[in-house]
Amino acid sequence: MADYSKGRNEEELEAFYPNEILRHILITFLFISAVMLGVMFLPESFQKSTDEFASFQTRPPWFLLPFYHVSSLINNRVWHVAILVIYAMTFISIPFLDRNPERSLWKKPIFLTIVIINLLMIFVLGLTRYLQ
Amino acid sequence: MWKNIKNSTKVWFEERYQLEEVVEKNVTKKLIPKGISLFRCMGGLALIAFLIQVGTGIFLVFYYVPSASEAFNSVQYIRHALPYGWLIQKVHAVTPYFMIVPLFAHMIRILFKGLYKNPRELHWVSGATLLVLTLLICYTGTCLPANNLSYWGVSSVGGEVAMPTMVTDHIVGAYNDGGMVSNRSFVTVYALHVACIPIMMCILMGFHFLMIRRTGVSEPL
């Protein structure tokens, strides 16, 4: 197991208990509060699935919108599944694709550009599906 | 008397498992580096959200019926007839909206700081796979209540969804067939949602946490 005290003096260390535990508890309560606010105020339309009720007023979770938009842009089933799988595999393989010894993304302009383009693409795909 | 029971129980456990040493080493006497931001809690928050989903999901498993004719009615029963069923069902439905936020924040932080570099490559692989599985489990979850959202998700967008072709064929074909859904479709998606994906997630999470314990968190940059 990792020992953080190695190579550090006391001033560079703090107690896991209670400091870190307290931080985690506070953040957890904030998160649960956010969920409860969502439970109370997020609108929902819970109706039986028929053509009549399948209106575009009902939207899937926001984080699935980009993937739904991709599905509507690509008609070929095989291509659609293949593109999503390749995208996921590329995302998972990032540590093996990025062989630059520099750690910070800000110091790797090409990789930074690719990441920003991808993030923007996901955002735009989701937003345009949401606005449709 | 209470103190005696407490002490004897403590001694009983201590003789067998030496828990005090484990707790001291991992919690009470553990030291961590200073200056680690609150953003480091994002992975833990995603775990909390997962546990909320497991807890509420176990409750829902007792009442949800994965069948074409009963799925919608069983969810309506949970929402309207069971004491606090509406609360548990809605918490289960709403938590993914918030679960994804810390997950994305966690991944983006690691990506921008390059924390996936040697020796933490497999931390990223397991974490990124967990993100993909989370999206899949959320998708299968939206298909189960057989409400208009399920219909919208699998049918109105053109019948192409990020799922194995066999599964989408089942669901889309069934939905498009006069609005009726086959029982097999529900059981397939239900099995993926409550068993296959969660088990894979638990294994990957165990692997992820074990590796973090081995290598430790990355140095604050």
Give the pLDDT of residue B121.
92
Task: For residue B145, report the phi and psi dihedrals to the nearest 5 degrees.
Answer: -70, -10
Question: Does residue A83 surpass a pLDDT of 80?
Answer: yes
pLDDT, residue B157, reads 41
Q: In this structure, what are the phi and psi dihedrals at residue B164, rounded to the nearest 5 degrees?
A: -55, 145
Q: Is A33 on the interface with B (CB under 8 A)?
A: no
Residue ranges of B 175-204 with Cβ closer than 8 A to chain A: 175, 179, 181
Q: Distances in Å between the alpha carbon of A91 and those of A115, B98, B129? A: 10, 22, 9
* A18 and A68 fall within a common domain: no
Looking at residue A56, what is its pLDDT?
A: 46
For residues A49 and A65, membership in a common domain is answered with no
Give domain status of residue A9, yes or no.
Answer: no
In this structure, the number of other CB atoms found within 10 A of the CB of residue B213 comes to 12
**Residue of chain B with shortest Cα separation from A105:** B112
Q: What is the mean pLDDT of chain A?
A: 83
Count: domains in chain A = 2
Question: Residues 80 to 109 of A: which have CB under 8 A from any B CB?
Answer: 80-81, 84, 88, 91-96, 98, 101-106
- What single DSSP character describes residue A11? G
Q: Is residue A6 part of a domain?
A: no
Question: What confidence score (pLDDT) does residue B55 get?
Answer: 96
Helices and strands per DSSP (H, E), number in chain A: 5, 1
Query: A68 and A48 in one domain?
Result: no
Instruction: Provide CB contacts within 8 A for A58, sequence distance 6+.
Output: A45, B148, B149, B152
Residue among A53, A69, A91, A28 nearest B95 (CA): A28
Q: What is residue B27's predicted lDDT score, i.e. its pLDDT?
A: 84
Residue of B nearest to A112 (CA): B112
Q: Is residue A4 part of a domain?
A: no
pLDDT along chain B (221 residues), means of 10: 88 89 85 78 90 96 88 90 94 92 92 89 95 91 79 50 43 49 73 94 95 78 43
| From A2, A11, A95, residue closest to B125, measured CB to CB | A95
State whether residue B52 sits within 8 Å of chain A by CB: yes
Same domain assignment for residues A65 and A42? no
A66, A30: one domain: no
Q: Work out the percent of chain A whose per-residue pLDDT is above 90.
A: 34
Q: Are residues A68 and A123 in the same domain?
A: yes
Kindly determine whether residue B148 and residue A47, on different chains, have CB atoms separated by under 8 Å.
yes
For A24, which of B41, B161, B168 is closest by C-beta distance?
A: B41
- pLDDT on residue A47: 61
Distance of CA B85 to the CA centre of its chain: 20
Task: Spell out the residues 6+ positions from residue B14 whose beta carbon is closer than 8 angstroms to its own.
Answer: B20
- Rounded alpha-carbon distances, angstroms, from residue B189 to B66, B88, B197: 9, 21, 10
Q: Does residue A73 sit in the same domain as residue A89?
A: yes
> Do A69 and A18 have their domain in common?
no
List the domain range (segments joined by +) for residue A107: 61-132
Per CB-CB distance under 8 Å, the chain B contacts of A23 are 38, 41
In this prediction, the answer to ipTM > 0.85 reads yes
* Distance between CA atoms of residues A123 and B165, nearest Å: 26
pTM metric for this prediction: 0.86
pLDDT, tens digit (0-9, with 9 covering 90-100), for A24-79:
899 999 999 999 999 998 877 666 655 444 444 566 788 888 887 887 788 776 78
A49 with A77, same domain: the answer is no
